[in-house]
Structure 1
Amino acid sequence: MPAWTGLPALAGWLWIADGWMRRRGGVPCLTWHSVSADASWLPWAAETSVRPETLDRQLSQLQRMGCTAMDTAEFIRRRRACLPVPAETVLLHFDDGYLDNWVAAAPILRRHRMRATLFVSLEFAAPDRPAPLTLEDTSWPDFWDGYLSWGEIRALDRDSPDKVFDVQPHGVDHTRVPVGPRAVGRLTRENWKQHAWMQWAAMRGSKHSWYLPEAPPAVPEGTAIPESDAALAAPAFADGQLETRAEYTARVRAELARCRTEFKARLGKAPVLFCWPQNRTSSLARRIAAEEGYLATTAGQGCNRAGEDPAVISRVHVGENTAGFASAWVDAWHFHATVRCFQGNAYWYLVILAAGFSKAVHKRLRARRHRSRQRQEAHRA
């Protein structure tokens, strides 16, 4: 048969493949954490912090792409009522309640006239203090570290024409729990902040200043680091056995209920959305959240399309230095690809893959250089 007779079949397969690669209807939920000119106090800053100018560029880019930020509570209401969501809708989230969200993120959101959801953990709120400076002040802020106070949280959540944040809960203490008897290492002066959850789990009350001491404040150096998971995602292992289903249920319910009670007392409102710490949960925890009155929770694995569970919000983290090195141009392409891929155009995933490969190569090269320096120092000693 002439070769040209296979062209219609090839065209048909390409048409089917293109339809699979471009499934419209996804609603990106973009997530940031710290927005700081100096996030060196955070041991995970390289993965979770962006500079103010980066956030400013990203929000400008969303506007150039024709995207409109919708309040997440409104999005939840529309999904539950099976109402249409306008094309190019995006949701904006900020996790953990860092002070720099007041200093930098709020003024930038206000400048772009965008609304976002801010998720705070109860036991990380700092004591009330005079309101710190922001980027809108004439003098540059002289500090960036730490967490928001309840006074600042109330001010950000206060209903006003220029309100940019709707505040919702991110749990009580953002900690993890041991899930088995195996140890994965030991705490040292060098690594204890990377495993800060162990300190948080042992500290009672406010944890807003956990990062200030040089030595671990609650669990000493030399302590075994257990295999662990997010506290609300799995039964805890203690005294040689895992929690029963009833014990796990009671622990999750108590935390979810405490968040609702404290939000009503401190902010005068009942929260409608719960953000699972570390983006980890379980089907049982989701059911408990619904029973406690939450209309939706995070940690979904979808794209927030019509037809997906309206009680589940799927999110994607956005950052900077996405290829392993500083480049505003590369970051802009990666951000564009992240939004379009979440919306349903999978062709853009090639950009994300390329950036991820570059980042992995740069990480390996840095680790090799670090090992080389260590060997040289040991040889000189």
Structure 2
Amino acid sequence: MVKSASLDTLQQDLRREARSLGFVACGFADAGEDPLRTGRFEKWLGAGHHGSMEWMESRKVQRASPQGLWPEARSVIALGMSYAPDVDPLALEGDDERARISVYAQGRDYHDVVKKALKALARWLIEREPDSELKVFVDTAPVMEKPLGEAAGIGWQGKHTNLVSRDHGSWLFLGAIYSTLEFAPDNAGRDRCGSCRACQDACPTAAFPAPYQLDARRCISYLTIEHKGPIPEQFREALSNRIYGCDDCLAVCPWNKFADTAHRHLKLAPREELAAPRLAEFLAFDDAGFRKFFSGSPIKRVGRDRFVRNCLYAAGNSGNGELAAQVEVLRSDPDPAVAEAADWAAMRLNPSP
């Protein structure tokens, strides 16, 4: 173990190295269990707000604290990488020809970009302290990145439950490094939402039963990405032209006025063809075409069937009769959820007299 003065220097050097690798936020937290954080998580699970995401409950002990996953951990290095959008994510609202894809999914798969930078930072740290151990995580392990980010002072969990930064708004990809080094923890992020409820009021499906609480079962991001099979009819109209994710609660956050695309990682720039895509092109996808088009994209993980299902709901909401022929073809799709969505869209586009 290095002396505290040397560890303090290492900590400051690590912050600088993180910035050089494209992270705009870096903070430190203790790896022990936080009873308040654990209690909130247990309450959320107990209410069933995780929907069909069974992995949230099956590994809840490991999610409860970093040491629950890795007992040797002593510190958490929380990191944020900006993906601030170029344009207003709400600009395509209600467009009858074009679809809306969440900002985070318009560029390269963030898992790859963030993890590559995390691994580079991990190598740097091991070179400095070869006797230490660490583990890197980005969204694919039982790690509570958002509350850990708040504990490490890089932001606070807003009323929409996402992390908000004073400097970068709501547009941060989060990663974490668990370390056996005992870094000095930063002050936790201070809640600065105040009386604002813009995110609550913006939600198309009323997915927030109360501020700081999210019922995933009503969330468009969950419904279009995680939910398998037909989406409940009560939410279909509210989907509008959203086909992958939803940014509404993030887009209206006043703190986004401080977000700047100049701080966005170069590899997270949006693909031009995903910024304002035409529904007609996506309705024509077969499995091979879908996989080819979305190679290197986080969208690829939902598969062609779930994606086209979403596009059919958007088609049904569009009122655009020019899409009716494509919808009709998909009524005989071999995937039951796609065929059912096509039936629903067809009835919306061609209502009985």
For the aligned pair, the TM-score class normalised by the smaller chain equals: under 0.3
Larger helix fraction of residues = 2
Larger strand fraction of residues = 1
Work out which structure has the larger RCO, using CA pairs closer than 8 Å and 6 or more positions apart in sequence. Answer: 2
When normalised by structure 1's length, the TM-score is 0.23
Task: Select the structure of larger CA radius of gyration.
Answer: 1
